[in-house]
Structure 1
Protein backbone atom coordinates (compact mmCIF):
# COMPACT_ATOMS: atom_id res chain seq x y z
CA UNK A 1 0.00 0.00 0.00
CA UNK A 2 1.16 3.53 -0.70
CA UNK A 3 1.52 5.18 2.66
CA UNK A 4 1.20 8.85 3.62
CA UNK A 5 4.22 10.71 4.83
CA UNK A 6 4.68 11.76 8.43
CA UNK A 7 7.88 13.76 8.00
CA UNK A 8 6.43 16.79 6.26
CA UNK A 9 2.83 16.73 7.49
CA UNK A 10 1.73 19.81 9.36
CA UNK A 11 1.62 19.36 13.11
CA UNK A 12 -0.33 22.52 13.87
CA UNK A 13 -3.86 22.21 15.23
CA UNK A 14 -4.85 25.49 13.62
CA UNK A 15 -8.27 25.14 12.03
CA UNK A 16 -8.35 26.37 8.44
CA UNK A 17 -11.46 26.62 6.29
CA UNK A 18 -10.60 25.53 2.75
CA UNK A 19 -14.03 26.05 1.21
CA UNK A 20 -17.61 26.85 2.19
CA UNK A 21 -20.89 25.94 0.55
CA UNK A 22 -22.75 28.94 1.93
CA UNK A 23 -22.21 32.47 0.73
CA UNK A 24 -20.57 34.93 3.17
CA UNK A 25 -23.10 35.96 5.79
CA UNK A 26 -25.54 33.22 4.85
CA UNK A 27 -26.90 31.16 7.75
CA UNK A 28 -25.95 27.47 7.51
CA UNK A 29 -27.28 25.58 10.51
CA UNK A 30 -25.95 22.22 9.34
CA UNK A 31 -22.42 23.59 9.14
CA UNK A 32 -22.68 25.33 12.50
CA UNK A 33 -23.89 22.10 14.10
CA UNK A 34 -21.04 20.17 12.50
CA UNK A 35 -18.50 22.63 13.89
CA UNK A 36 -20.12 22.50 17.33
CA UNK A 37 -19.75 18.71 17.39
CA UNK A 38 -16.23 18.72 15.96
CA UNK A 39 -14.50 17.50 19.12
CA UNK A 40 -17.04 14.72 19.75
CA UNK A 41 -17.00 13.21 16.30
CA UNK A 42 -13.34 13.76 15.47
CA UNK A 43 -12.55 11.93 18.71
CA UNK A 44 -14.72 9.07 17.46
CA UNK A 45 -12.72 9.05 14.22
CA UNK A 46 -9.52 8.79 16.25
CA UNK A 47 -10.89 5.74 18.06
CA UNK A 48 -11.07 4.08 14.65
CA UNK A 49 -7.58 5.29 13.77
CA UNK A 50 -6.14 3.90 17.00
CA UNK A 51 -7.79 0.56 16.24
CA UNK A 52 -6.17 0.60 12.81
CA UNK A 53 -2.79 1.20 14.42
CA UNK A 54 -3.38 -1.68 16.84
CA UNK A 55 -3.85 -3.92 13.79
CA UNK A 56 -0.67 -2.69 12.06
CA UNK A 57 -2.67 -0.64 9.57
CA UNK A 58 -1.95 2.94 8.54
CA UNK A 59 -3.78 4.81 11.35
CA UNK A 60 -6.67 6.43 9.53
CA UNK A 61 -10.21 6.36 10.88
CA UNK A 62 -13.43 8.16 10.11
CA UNK A 63 -17.09 8.53 10.97
CA UNK A 64 -20.04 9.75 8.94
CA UNK A 65 -22.68 11.66 10.89
CA UNK A 66 -26.32 12.12 9.88
CA UNK A 67 -28.87 14.00 12.00
CA UNK A 68 -26.47 14.01 14.94
CA UNK A 69 -25.79 10.26 14.91
CA UNK A 70 -22.89 8.21 13.59
CA UNK A 71 -24.30 6.19 10.70
CA UNK A 72 -21.04 4.68 9.51
CA UNK A 73 -17.48 4.30 10.75
CA UNK A 74 -14.36 2.79 9.33
CA UNK A 75 -10.64 2.29 9.67
CA UNK A 76 -7.96 1.26 7.24
CA UNK A 77 -8.21 -2.46 6.53
CA UNK A 78 -5.79 -2.78 3.65
CA UNK A 79 -3.22 -5.14 5.15
CA UNK A 80 -5.60 -7.52 6.92
CA UNK A 81 -7.86 -7.83 3.89
CA UNK A 82 -5.05 -7.56 1.34
CA UNK A 83 -7.37 -5.24 -0.54
CA UNK A 84 -5.70 -1.91 -1.43
CA UNK A 85 -9.06 -0.16 -1.79
CA UNK A 86 -10.24 -0.70 1.77
CA UNK A 87 -9.35 2.71 3.13
CA UNK A 88 -11.27 3.99 6.15
CA UNK A 89 -13.68 6.07 4.09
CA UNK A 90 -14.51 3.21 1.71
CA UNK A 91 -15.14 0.85 4.64
CA UNK A 92 -17.54 3.37 6.19
CA UNK A 93 -19.29 4.08 2.89
CA UNK A 94 -19.87 0.36 2.36
CA UNK A 95 -21.33 0.08 5.86
CA UNK A 96 -23.75 2.93 5.14
CA UNK A 97 -24.77 1.47 1.78
CA UNK A 98 -25.56 -1.85 3.44
CA UNK A 99 -27.53 -0.08 6.18
CA UNK A 100 -29.57 1.83 3.61
CA UNK A 101 -30.32 -1.32 1.67
CA UNK A 102 -31.42 -3.18 4.80
CA UNK A 103 -33.69 -0.35 5.98
CA UNK A 104 -34.98 0.70 2.54
CA UNK A 105 -33.37 4.14 2.72
CA UNK A 106 -32.20 6.30 -0.16
CA UNK A 107 -28.39 6.34 0.13
CA UNK A 108 -28.08 9.39 -2.13
CA UNK A 109 -30.24 11.40 0.25
CA UNK A 110 -28.42 10.13 3.33
CA UNK A 111 -24.96 10.94 1.96
CA UNK A 112 -26.08 14.36 0.74
CA UNK A 113 -27.11 15.23 4.31
CA UNK A 114 -24.08 13.77 6.12
CA UNK A 115 -20.81 15.07 7.52
CA UNK A 116 -17.49 13.22 7.34
CA UNK A 117 -14.93 13.49 10.14
CA UNK A 118 -11.57 11.85 9.36
CA UNK A 119 -8.20 12.23 11.04
CA UNK A 120 -6.16 12.44 7.81
CA UNK A 121 -6.85 14.17 4.50
CA UNK A 122 -8.54 11.62 2.20
CA UNK A 123 -6.49 10.29 -0.69
CA UNK A 124 -7.48 10.98 -4.30
CA UNK A 125 -9.48 7.75 -4.58
CA UNK A 126 -11.49 8.50 -1.46
CA UNK A 127 -11.86 12.20 -2.23
CA UNK A 128 -13.27 11.36 -5.64
CA UNK A 129 -15.75 8.94 -4.06
CA UNK A 130 -16.81 11.58 -1.53
CA UNK A 131 -17.39 14.07 -4.32
CA UNK A 132 -19.45 11.60 -6.36
CA UNK A 133 -21.58 10.90 -3.28
CA UNK A 134 -22.01 14.67 -2.84
CA UNK A 135 -20.85 14.68 0.78
CA UNK A 136 -21.51 18.31 1.79
CA UNK A 137 -19.12 18.63 4.74
CA UNK A 138 -15.64 17.19 5.33
CA UNK A 139 -13.52 17.83 8.42
CA UNK A 140 -10.03 16.33 8.49
CA UNK A 141 -7.11 16.60 10.88
CA UNK A 142 -3.68 16.38 9.25
CA UNK A 143 -2.68 17.14 5.71
CA UNK A 144 -1.69 14.11 3.60
CA UNK A 145 1.23 15.67 1.77
CA UNK A 146 1.99 12.63 -0.38
CA UNK A 147 -1.43 11.38 -1.45
CA UNK A 148 -3.94 13.99 -0.28
CA UNK A 149 -6.88 14.24 -2.64
CA UNK A 150 -8.63 17.28 -1.20
CA UNK A 151 -6.03 19.93 -1.97
CA UNK A 152 -2.50 18.78 -1.08
CA UNK A 153 -1.75 16.72 -4.20
CA UNK A 154 -5.05 16.31 -6.00
CA UNK A 155 -7.81 18.91 -5.90
CA UNK A 156 -11.28 17.59 -5.11
CA UNK A 157 -12.84 20.30 -7.25
CA UNK A 158 -10.99 19.09 -10.36
CA UNK A 159 -12.42 15.57 -10.44
CA UNK A 160 -15.71 16.52 -12.11
CA UNK A 161 -16.60 19.16 -14.67
CA UNK A 162 -19.35 20.54 -12.43
CA UNK A 163 -18.24 19.72 -8.86
CA UNK A 164 -20.69 20.12 -5.99
CA UNK A 165 -20.04 22.76 -3.37
CA UNK A 166 -18.51 21.38 -0.17
CA UNK A 167 -17.60 22.62 3.28
CA UNK A 168 -13.99 21.55 3.82
CA UNK A 169 -12.17 22.30 7.07
CA UNK A 170 -8.76 21.03 8.10
CA UNK A 171 -6.44 21.16 11.09
CA UNK A 172 -8.49 20.09 14.10
CA UNK A 173 -6.42 17.54 16.07
CA UNK A 174 -3.93 17.52 13.21
CA UNK A 175 -0.98 17.14 15.57
CA UNK A 176 -2.46 13.99 17.04
CA UNK A 177 -2.97 12.55 13.57
CA UNK A 178 0.69 13.12 12.73
CA UNK A 179 1.72 11.50 16.02
CA UNK A 180 -0.24 8.37 15.09
CA UNK A 181 1.50 8.24 11.72
CA UNK A 182 4.88 8.57 13.42
CA UNK A 183 4.02 5.72 15.78
CA UNK A 184 3.06 3.60 12.79
CA UNK A 185 6.38 4.20 11.05
CA UNK A 186 8.32 3.60 14.25
CA UNK A 187 6.61 0.25 14.68
CA UNK A 188 6.92 -0.44 10.94
CA UNK A 189 4.44 -2.33 8.85
CA UNK A 190 4.72 -5.88 10.16
CA UNK A 191 3.44 -7.38 6.90
CA UNK A 192 6.24 -5.75 4.92
CA UNK A 193 9.32 -7.86 4.09
CA UNK A 194 12.14 -7.33 6.61
CA UNK A 195 14.42 -5.73 4.02
CA UNK A 196 11.77 -3.10 3.25
CA UNK A 197 11.28 -2.35 6.93
CA UNK A 198 15.00 -1.63 7.19
CA UNK A 199 14.80 0.74 4.21
CA UNK A 200 12.00 2.69 5.90
CA UNK A 201 14.06 3.10 9.07
CA UNK A 202 17.12 4.19 7.09
CA UNK A 203 15.06 6.72 5.15
CA UNK A 204 13.73 8.24 8.34
CA UNK A 205 17.21 8.47 9.82
CA UNK A 206 18.59 10.32 6.79
CA UNK A 207 15.86 12.98 6.77
Structure 2
Protein backbone atom coordinates (compact mmCIF):
# COMPACT_ATOMS: atom_id res chain seq x y z
CA UNK A 1 0.00 0.00 0.00
CA UNK A 2 1.40 3.34 -1.00
CA UNK A 3 1.24 5.92 1.75
CA UNK A 4 1.52 9.49 0.60
CA UNK A 5 1.83 12.27 3.13
CA UNK A 6 -0.35 15.34 2.73
CA UNK A 7 1.09 17.29 5.66
CA UNK A 8 1.13 21.06 5.50
CA UNK A 9 4.16 23.11 6.38
CA UNK A 10 3.78 26.70 7.58
CA UNK A 11 5.12 27.85 4.22
CA UNK A 12 2.43 26.11 2.16
CA UNK A 13 0.14 28.39 0.25
CA UNK A 14 -3.13 26.57 0.59
CA UNK A 15 -6.83 27.16 0.80
CA UNK A 16 -9.22 25.70 3.30
CA UNK A 17 -10.53 23.57 0.44
CA UNK A 18 -7.08 22.00 0.05
CA UNK A 19 -6.77 21.40 3.78
CA UNK A 20 -10.13 19.62 3.95
CA UNK A 21 -9.42 17.56 0.82
CA UNK A 22 -6.13 16.46 2.39
CA UNK A 23 -8.14 15.24 5.37
CA UNK A 24 -10.41 13.33 2.98
CA UNK A 25 -7.34 11.79 1.34
CA UNK A 26 -6.12 10.59 4.73
CA UNK A 27 -9.51 8.94 5.23
CA UNK A 28 -9.19 7.31 1.79
CA UNK A 29 -5.77 5.96 2.70
CA UNK A 30 -7.23 4.53 5.91
CA UNK A 31 -9.89 2.78 3.83
CA UNK A 32 -7.21 1.29 1.58
CA UNK A 33 -5.23 0.10 4.61
CA UNK A 34 -8.38 -1.73 5.74
CA UNK A 35 -8.89 -3.33 2.31
CA UNK A 36 -11.73 -1.00 1.39
CA UNK A 37 -12.07 0.97 -1.84
CA UNK A 38 -10.19 4.16 -0.94
CA UNK A 39 -12.79 6.87 -0.71
CA UNK A 40 -12.75 9.44 2.07
CA UNK A 41 -15.18 12.22 2.97
CA UNK A 42 -15.07 15.23 5.29
CA UNK A 43 -18.01 17.53 6.10
CA UNK A 44 -17.39 21.10 7.19
CA UNK A 45 -19.80 23.66 8.64
CA UNK A 46 -18.62 27.20 9.36
CA UNK A 47 -14.98 26.11 9.11
CA UNK A 48 -15.37 23.23 11.57
CA UNK A 49 -15.20 19.53 10.68
CA UNK A 50 -18.48 17.95 11.81
CA UNK A 51 -18.08 14.58 10.12
CA UNK A 52 -15.40 12.48 8.47
CA UNK A 53 -15.36 8.88 7.32
CA UNK A 54 -14.05 6.39 4.81
CA UNK A 55 -15.62 3.47 2.99
CA UNK A 56 -16.45 0.54 5.28
CA UNK A 57 -18.65 -1.66 3.08
CA UNK A 58 -16.45 -4.74 3.52
CA UNK A 59 -15.76 -4.16 7.22
CA UNK A 60 -19.41 -3.60 8.13
CA UNK A 61 -20.81 -5.98 5.48
CA UNK A 62 -23.10 -3.10 4.50
CA UNK A 63 -23.49 -1.94 0.89
CA UNK A 64 -24.56 1.52 2.10
CA UNK A 65 -21.45 2.10 4.25
CA UNK A 66 -19.90 4.53 1.80
CA UNK A 67 -17.70 7.35 3.10
CA UNK A 68 -20.27 9.98 2.18
CA UNK A 69 -23.18 8.28 3.96
CA UNK A 70 -21.12 7.55 7.08
CA UNK A 71 -19.86 11.16 7.20
CA UNK A 72 -23.41 12.47 6.79
CA UNK A 73 -24.54 10.32 9.73
CA UNK A 74 -21.70 11.68 11.88
CA UNK A 75 -22.46 15.26 10.86
CA UNK A 76 -26.20 15.03 11.54
CA UNK A 77 -25.45 13.63 14.98
CA UNK A 78 -22.93 16.42 15.62
CA UNK A 79 -25.41 19.19 14.78
CA UNK A 80 -28.50 17.40 16.10
CA UNK A 81 -30.44 17.84 12.88
CA UNK A 82 -30.84 15.83 9.68
CA UNK A 83 -30.62 19.05 7.67
CA UNK A 84 -27.03 20.07 6.99
CA UNK A 85 -27.84 23.50 5.59
CA UNK A 86 -24.66 25.42 4.83
CA UNK A 87 -22.38 22.39 5.11
CA UNK A 88 -19.78 21.43 2.51
CA UNK A 89 -18.58 17.89 1.81
CA UNK A 90 -15.07 17.18 0.51
CA UNK A 91 -14.80 13.72 -1.00
CA UNK A 92 -12.01 12.07 -2.95
CA UNK A 93 -14.28 10.59 -5.64
CA UNK A 94 -17.45 11.78 -7.32
CA UNK A 95 -20.40 10.48 -5.29
CA UNK A 96 -22.31 7.47 -6.61
CA UNK A 97 -26.09 7.78 -7.18
CA UNK A 98 -26.91 6.56 -3.65
CA UNK A 99 -24.53 9.05 -2.04
CA UNK A 100 -25.67 11.87 -4.32
CA UNK A 101 -29.23 11.17 -3.19
CA UNK A 102 -28.12 11.31 0.45
CA UNK A 103 -26.43 14.66 -0.20
CA UNK A 104 -29.67 16.05 -1.62
CA UNK A 105 -31.76 14.64 1.23
CA UNK A 106 -29.40 16.07 3.86
CA UNK A 107 -29.65 19.52 2.24
CA UNK A 108 -25.88 19.77 1.82
CA UNK A 109 -24.91 23.18 0.42
CA UNK A 110 -21.98 22.01 -1.70
CA UNK A 111 -19.87 18.98 -2.54
CA UNK A 112 -16.26 19.22 -3.70
CA UNK A 113 -14.61 16.11 -5.11
CA UNK A 114 -11.25 15.13 -6.50
CA UNK A 115 -11.71 12.56 -9.24
CA UNK A 116 -14.75 12.00 -11.42
CA UNK A 117 -16.29 8.56 -11.87
CA UNK A 118 -17.44 8.18 -15.47
CA UNK A 119 -18.91 4.72 -14.77
CA UNK A 120 -20.84 5.22 -11.52
CA UNK A 121 -20.80 8.99 -10.96
CA UNK A 122 -24.06 10.27 -9.53
CA UNK A 123 -23.21 13.97 -9.56
CA UNK A 124 -22.30 14.89 -13.14
CA UNK A 125 -20.48 12.09 -14.97
CA UNK A 126 -23.17 9.45 -15.40
CA UNK A 127 -26.16 10.99 -13.62
CA UNK A 128 -26.89 14.51 -12.41
CA UNK A 129 -28.77 13.78 -9.21
CA UNK A 130 -27.33 16.74 -7.31
CA UNK A 131 -29.02 19.20 -9.65
CA UNK A 132 -32.10 17.25 -10.76
CA UNK A 133 -34.83 19.83 -11.39
CA UNK A 134 -37.58 17.55 -10.03
CA UNK A 135 -35.95 17.24 -6.60
CA UNK A 136 -36.61 19.67 -3.76
CA UNK A 137 -32.96 20.68 -3.25
CA UNK A 138 -29.92 21.28 -5.44
CA UNK A 139 -26.33 20.87 -4.29
CA UNK A 140 -23.55 23.10 -5.59
CA UNK A 141 -20.68 21.12 -7.13
CA UNK A 142 -16.98 21.58 -7.69
CA UNK A 143 -14.90 18.89 -9.36
CA UNK A 144 -11.18 18.29 -9.72
CA UNK A 145 -9.71 19.51 -6.42
CA UNK A 146 -6.42 17.64 -5.94
CA UNK A 147 -7.53 15.31 -8.70
CA UNK A 148 -4.08 13.83 -9.36
CA UNK A 149 -3.64 12.95 -5.67
CA UNK A 150 -7.09 11.38 -5.47
CA UNK A 151 -6.49 9.35 -8.63
CA UNK A 152 -3.08 8.21 -7.37
CA UNK A 153 -4.60 6.77 -4.17
CA UNK A 154 -7.36 4.98 -6.10
CA UNK A 155 -5.07 3.67 -8.84
CA UNK A 156 -2.46 2.54 -6.32
CA UNK A 157 -5.09 0.59 -4.41
CA UNK A 158 -6.32 -1.24 -7.50
CA UNK A 159 -2.78 -1.92 -8.76
CA UNK A 160 -1.93 -3.45 -5.39
CA UNK A 161 -5.19 -5.43 -5.40
CA UNK A 162 -4.50 -6.84 -8.88
CA UNK A 163 -0.97 -7.81 -7.84
CA UNK A 164 -2.20 -9.54 -4.66
CA UNK A 165 -4.90 -11.36 -6.63
CA UNK A 166 -2.35 -12.53 -9.20
CA UNK A 167 -0.01 -13.74 -6.46
CA UNK A 168 -2.87 -15.59 -4.73
CA UNK A 169 -3.81 -17.34 -7.99
CA UNK A 170 -0.20 -18.35 -8.56
CA UNK A 171 0.05 -19.67 -5.00
CA UNK A 172 -3.19 -21.67 -5.37
CA UNK A 173 -1.87 -23.12 -8.61
CA UNK A 174 1.39 -24.12 -6.90
CA UNK A 175 -0.50 -25.57 -3.93
CA UNK A 176 -2.67 -27.58 -6.33
CA UNK A 177 0.37 -28.95 -8.15
CA UNK A 178 2.06 -29.92 -4.89
CA UNK A 179 -0.98 -31.73 -3.49
CA UNK A 180 -2.15 -33.18 -6.80
| Pairwise TM-score range, normalised by the shorter structure | 0.7 to 0.9
Output aligned runs, 1:41-80, within 5 Å. 41-80=20-59
Runs of 4+ in 1 over 6 A off after TM superposition: none
How far apart are 1:169 and its partner, in Å?
A: 0.6
For residues 117-138 of structure 1, the C-alpha deviation after alignment (integer angstroms, 9 at most, x for no partner) is 0111000000011011111111
How far apart are 1:159 and its partner, in Å?
A: 5.0
Q: TM-score, normalised by structure 1?
A: 0.68
For residues 52-86 of structure 1, the C-alpha deviation after alignment (integer angstroms, 9 at most, x for no partner) is 11111111001000111100001000111111110
2:68–2:99 contact (8 Å) kept in structure 1:
yes
**Which residue of the partner structure matches residue 140 of structure 1?**
113
SS in 2 for 1:107: coil
Greater relative contact order: 1 or 2 (C-alpha under 8 angstroms, separation 6 or more)?
Answer: 1
Unaligned runs of 5+ in 2: 1-13, 170-180
RMSD across aligned positions (CA): 2.4
**Which residue of the partner structure matches residue 14 of structure 1?**
none
Classify 1:106/1:80 alpha carbon distance in 2 versus 1 (closer, same or farther; 3 Å): closer
**Which residue of the partner structure matches residue 106 of structure 1?**
81
**Which residue of the partner structure matches residue 168 of structure 1?**
141
Unaligned runs of 5+ in 1: 1-34, 199-207
**Which residue of the partner structure matches residue 93 of structure 2?**
120
> Who wins on radius of gyration, i.e. which is larger?
2
